[in-house]
A and B are shown apart, each in its own frame.
Chain A
Amino acid sequence: MRKRRLTTLLAIAAITPLALTACAGGGGGGQAKGDPDTLTVLDYYNNEPDKTLIQAAIDKCAEELDVTIKRETVPGKDLIQKVLQRSSSKTLPDVLMLDNPDLQEIAATGGLAPLSDYDVDTSGFADGILEAATYEDEVYGLAPTVNTLGLFYNEDLLAAAGVEPPTTWDELKTAAATLTTGDQYGLAFSAIATYEGSWQFLPFMWTNGGDETDLGTPEVAEALQLWVDLVDSGAASKSVLNWSQADVKDQFVAGKAAMMINGPWQIPGLAETPDVKWGTVQVPVNEAGQTPIAPLGGEVWTVPVTGDDEKQAKAASFVECISSDDNQLELATERYTVPTKTELADEYVEAVPTMEAFTEQVANARSRTGQLGEEWPEAATVIYTAIQLALTGQASVEDAFEQASAG
């Protein structure tokens, strides 16, 4: 019996190396050298209308640079996994789009080429977006347009209740309380246990002088207290704990929330229900006179290190082209996002007046990774955990952040 088992083992041992070498052989021929005039592009604009709008911008740049583009789109959730897979198999695309808070994490791996290597002009861009795209003093990506958060309000509901759009926290609390009747809540926001919840909390925290490098300050606690007050008073639903920003928009559209914290990317969705009239203002501040500081959202285009210097140079020109003034205005107008070059702001607001509040908000917006870089995901986890602890009454506002950071 034992001998037979031994033979089997020997047989397996003899065959295994063959199988393994066969596997290894497949991985070797990775890097797609291919045609020098073809650039591969990877992004996450896989839904309409963004998919087509971005394609138009890409096509324009392809023509300008006289290259052929092979574009691949993946769902937003899968992008980082895809990038990691491809970097380990050495098949990164020539041009890679990244969500701005992920850039530093990927740049830290050494997988991206600094744009200064290819003399890309990075002047004139808003500080916030350059901060997000910078890792160890080198700029690794450019964004044509960005987005941020603001306060949407239902014009009809506010007019009927005789409420003005709030500008301070006190006004926000009063307005939300007044607007809460029957099935309708005054305010909706997302306090979900993901980075989305942290992102929605940032405008309140930053505006009040809180900072992610020290979450134990009274300024941060005050901002959290505001959210707790809104939920405890019943002016916002307890369901904010489980609402994504898309859910928040649905509540607003259904008339179940008179106001919401959300971003301009919801505007195409809001346009589908023209009978819901809405307006936007900047996120309310704690005390009148404070500058509202909101987080900067949006995607940056980068040049991965593929080992083919000539192609990388072409990719860098492509990144520069897609962030050119014309492209910025076009993409901003079509996608309800804000141009990243500060000098384009006036021209843009003139063309798209509904974006005025967001454009102002972007001028002072901060990037999430500007202070902490690669450490941001940890802080973001602490923030959403603390929000959840406080809103469910598991911890007091003062203890929430400490308890959350204990992990």
Chain B
Amino acid sequence: MSTTRLTSETAPADRAGAPRRGTLPRRSLKRQFSKENITKVLFVVPAALYILLFFGYPVVKNIVMSLQDYTTKTFFTGEAPWVGIENYVTVISSNLFWPSLINTALFTIGSIAGQFVIGLALAAFFKRRFPLNNFLRSMLLLPWLLPLIVASATWRSILDQDSGILNRFLGTLGIEAVPWLTDPSVALTAVILVNIWIGIPFNVTILYGGLQDIPDELYEAGALDGATGWKAFWHITWPNLRPVVSVVLLLGVVYTLKVLDIILGLTNGGPANATQTLAIRSYQESFVNFEFGVGAAFSNILILISLLFAIIYLRANRRQVDE
């Protein structure tokens, strides 16, 4: 509200000042080259250059590549015939596009929901003081420190249908062996479970930091008014944690959308394409089938989806600042 009132007040003043504009350019020209402004520009240049080289160039190159017939030949001859949107047509009309899009959505939603809920529960748990708290919390970081390819190889043997330790354990409880990675209806769930395990440390760490920032006085005051337990969580913890939560969720979504190594290591997109995601499609088209143009088209679609979430996040954040 306050911002709109401000602009409506300043507008007439601006219009009134219009006739005097004639003298402005010279003064502003001088101001443009003032020492202060040059310094400002110099501060911006390194960052701008960095963004241009390491973000701008790859993105532009990827977009251009997706509009070309870019194959192994291109690397030697440098020739990549322009094919317009043909690669995108190939991508969207391929039988695997919609299943892999749906898998990407299920994988992302499933992973984020699991990681976040378990992460928040653990973060809240570790907020209490108890012996070995710090030690256990640092042990929790282990999955994060393991190289993903090691983690996925380990999980592949844990989830093996016949001799995997998980099925052996379930067997002692009288549960029949679950075909974790070999049944198309279970494989995606198995892959999501592993990804949840990998994502928990990140969620715990950030959420724990957020919880530490909530002043204890709020809880003390709340307790006086009868807000304890769930009520305290709902009325004190949650509202204060919201900025942290939105960061965790956004980063989580962007990380999860592009997950590649875990799925490659566990199932390689199988069984029977049950764990194909857009990232896997992009990788396989580019580095297995050597159709770099089609692979680039897949990854551009993925980037577009990530961008969508980034915009949602920025909007949500701007509203918070305004509030």
Contacts and interface: CB of A to CB of B under 8 A. Distances in A.
Interface of A: 3-4, 7-8, 11-12, 15-16, 19, 80-81, 84-85, 87-88, 105-106, 108-111, 183, 185, 192-194, 237-239, 241-242, 254, 256, 377-378, 381, 385, 388-389, 391-392, 394, 406-407
Contacts of B268: 192-194
A394 B49 contact: no
Contact of B41 (A3, A11, A108, A193): A11
12 contacts: A12-B49, A16-B52, A84-B75, A87-B76, A88-B74, A105-B290, A110-B73, A193-B268, A193-B272, A238-B179, A241-B182, A392-B183
A87 B273 CA distance: 33
Contacts of A237: 161-162
Nearest to B275: A193
Contacts of A4: 37, 40
B95 A242 contact: no
A105 B291 CA distance: 12
B184 interface: yes
B177 to A, nearest CB: 9
Contacts, number: 115
A179 B16 CA distance: 98
A88 B290 contact: no
Given A108-B72, A185-B162, 8 more contacts: A12-B48, A19-B53, A88-B75, A239-B181, A239-B182, A242-B182, A388-B272, A407-B96
A3 B182 CA distance: 61
Question: Binding site of A, secondary structure by majority: helix, strand, loop or mixed?
Answer: helix
Interface in B174-203: 179, 181-184
Nearest to A394: B272
A11 B44 contact: yes
A371 to B, nearest CB: 18
A400 B52 CA distance: 47
Nearest to A89: B75
**7 tightest Cβ-Cβ pairs between the two chains A and B:** A193-B270, A109-B76, A388-B272, A84-B75, A88-B75, A392-B272, A87-B76
Contacts of A239: 160-162, 181-182
Interface in B144-180: 156, 160-163, 179
B271 A241 contact: yes
B45 to A, nearest CB: 6
B28 interface: yes
Interface string B262-278: 00000111111110000
B182 A109 contact: no
A87 B73 CA distance: 10
B49 A242 contact: no
